[in-house]
Amino acid sequence: MNMYDIIYTKREGGALSREEIEYFVKGYTEGSIPDYQASALLMAIFLQKMSKEETFWLTDAMMRSGDLVDLSSVPGVKVDKHSTGGVGDKTTLIAAPLAASCGVPVAKMSGRGLGFTGGTVDKLESIPGFRTAMEPEDFLEQVRRVGMAVIGQTAHIAAADKKIYALRDVTATVENLSLITSSIMSKKLASGSDAIVLDVKCGKGAFMEEPESAAELAQWMVELGTKAGRKTIAAVTDMDQPLGRAVGNSLEVMEAADTLKGCGPADITELSLKLAGLMIFAGGLAGTAEEGERMAVRALESGAGFGKFCEFIGAQGGDSRAASDYSLLPQAEYAREIYAEKDGFIGGVEARRIGLASQHTGAGREKKEDGVDLAAGILLNKKKGDPVKKGELLATFFGNDPEKVKKGAAEGAAAFSISRTRPETEPLIRQVIGAEVL
Ligand code: URA
């Protein structure tokens, strides 16, 4: 077997065998296959596509290229939740405690923010004292004792994905169904949960802009997860505009805490309850997704979800008083406001641009090695469809570097459009795939 033949087969539109796919994944991870041959194969896959069967073997090989987490010492059906990436997406901070307070064990590995999307690990690290690195035994012990733990993803999980993703990023081969499916699912399968709830984003702030392509991605991931023996459900949800009103690390922790106290924005509350309901259902604690959602609503209304959030923060070394006293969270030194230039309705708030603006304020990073300003970010005062008067506040930009805040505000202003008539608003949750087969 050699790489030339593998590249040639795919270039000509042929199907790769399980052995050929394993040869590539193993060789590239170990360093015996050079970047130029891996790049050529990725481009051939991008252009000629892979079948579901090839995608399954690619995912399987990538999953086995690193450590496999063993959660068998934790009783119950362990449920993971994953979002394909968004702006203002703090749903893990809300849905996971709601599901955990209903008895679903959540053992989650999360990422850091990169580019215009945020990451749960950065958000949690804005809580004073919170630790996102933990010994595996302590991680398992916390899930058994508290019902949930969230740690940073280690390089040892699906090691091939780290190398392949970095290469896709610089060879324009990211937006491919098989490559995205294998990248996400190899990490999820290696992380060891019995059930996986996926939030597949569509819209201007997502990899898949069209609802049809997001639904196809969701369908592929659900089929693959199911074939791999995990209960898998996917919700296809809107990412045309940011979720909620807060974008940026400590600002999003405040909004998550508000939501768990029952006073969060409507969109973030709706999506978090839906995802928590799916987690409860996938965990076998509710007979239907609707019953799961009703349990999540009760956990929200009774304060059990908020209580679990505080317990979880404390268990990971964080100061849980920060969930009530926001002055304990990082505060920005500078703020800058932007205002509407005319009367009308907010026609749209482009998620990608708000994500970029937040990155400019210092809340996000350009390169993996960069640090972040945990207090930086944006508070949106208007969202799509809201009526607006000339001179009214659209958004406030925060940070500790005045130049960065200014740059963020300039980018953020371009994210808003104002129309004369109220625009049509799309449903936040477009489709749920996979629940019917559980
Ligand atoms: N997230 C991932 O982890 N991988 C992709 O390919 C896309 C989104």
The C-alpha atoms of residue 93 and residue 315 are separated, in whole angstroms, by: 15
Predicted TM-score (pTM) of the model is 0.94
Residues 6+ apart with CB under 8 A from 166: none
Structure tokens at 331: 């505060």
**CA 335 / ligand 1 centre spacing (Å):** 33
183 belongs to the catalytic site: yes
168 belongs to the catalytic site: yes
Query: What pLDDT does residue 333 have?
Result: 98
**CA 221 / ligand 1 centre spacing (Å):** 12
Q: Which residue from 390, 59, 62, 429 is spatially nearest to 211, judged by alpha carbons?
A: 429
- 10, 64, 78, 82: the active-site residue: 82
Query: What pLDDT does residue 425 have?
Result: 86
**CA 191 / ligand 1 centre spacing (Å):** 15
What does the DSSP 8-state code read for residue 315?
H
419 belongs to the catalytic site: no
182-186 contacts at long range (C-beta below 8 A, 24 or more positions apart): 182/55, 182/58, 182/59, 182/62, 183/62, 184/82, 184/84, 184/221, 185/59, 185/63, 185/221, 185/224, 185/225, 185/228, 186/59, 186/60, 186/62, 186/63, 186/65, 186/158, 186/160, 186/161
What is the chain's percent helix, strand, coil content, to nearest 5?
A: 45, 15, 35
182: Cβ below 6 Å to ligand 1? Answer: no
| Atom 7 in ligand 1: residue holding the nearest Cα | 180
346: Cβ below 6 Å to ligand 1? Answer: no
152: Cβ below 6 Å to ligand 1? Answer: no
361: Cβ below 6 Å to ligand 1? Answer: no
- 90, 112, 123, 187: the active-site residue: 187
86: Cβ below 6 Å to ligand 1? Answer: no
**SS3 state at 422:** coil
At 287-343, the pLDDT tens digits run 999 999 999 999 999 999 999 999 999 999 999 999 999 999 999 999 999 999 999
| Atom 8 in ligand 1: residue holding the nearest Cα | 84
Report, as ranges of residue numbers, the positions in the chain whose pLDDT lies below 70: 437-438
237 phi, psi to nearest 5 deg: -130, 155
Residues 6+ apart with CB under 8 A from 387: 344, 345, 422
Query: What pLDDT does residue 273 have?
Result: 98
| Atom 5 in ligand 1: residue holding the nearest Cα | 180
156 belongs to the catalytic site: no
Query: What pLDDT does residue 322 have?
Result: 98
Residue from 46, 110, 179, 180 whose mutation best tests the ligand 1 pocket (most atoms within 8 A of CB) = 180
**Beta bridge partner(s), residue 234:** 198, 433
**Beta bridge partner(s), residue 195:** 79, 231
Sequence letter at residue 139: F
**CA 256 / ligand 1 centre spacing (Å):** 24
Query: What pLDDT does residue 438 have?
Result: 60
At 90-146, the pLDDT tens digits run 999 999 999 999 999 999 988 887 777 788 999 999 999 999 999 889 999 999 999
138 belongs to the catalytic site: no
| Atom 6 in ligand 1: residue holding the nearest Cα | 180
Query: What pLDDT does residue 437 have?
Result: 59
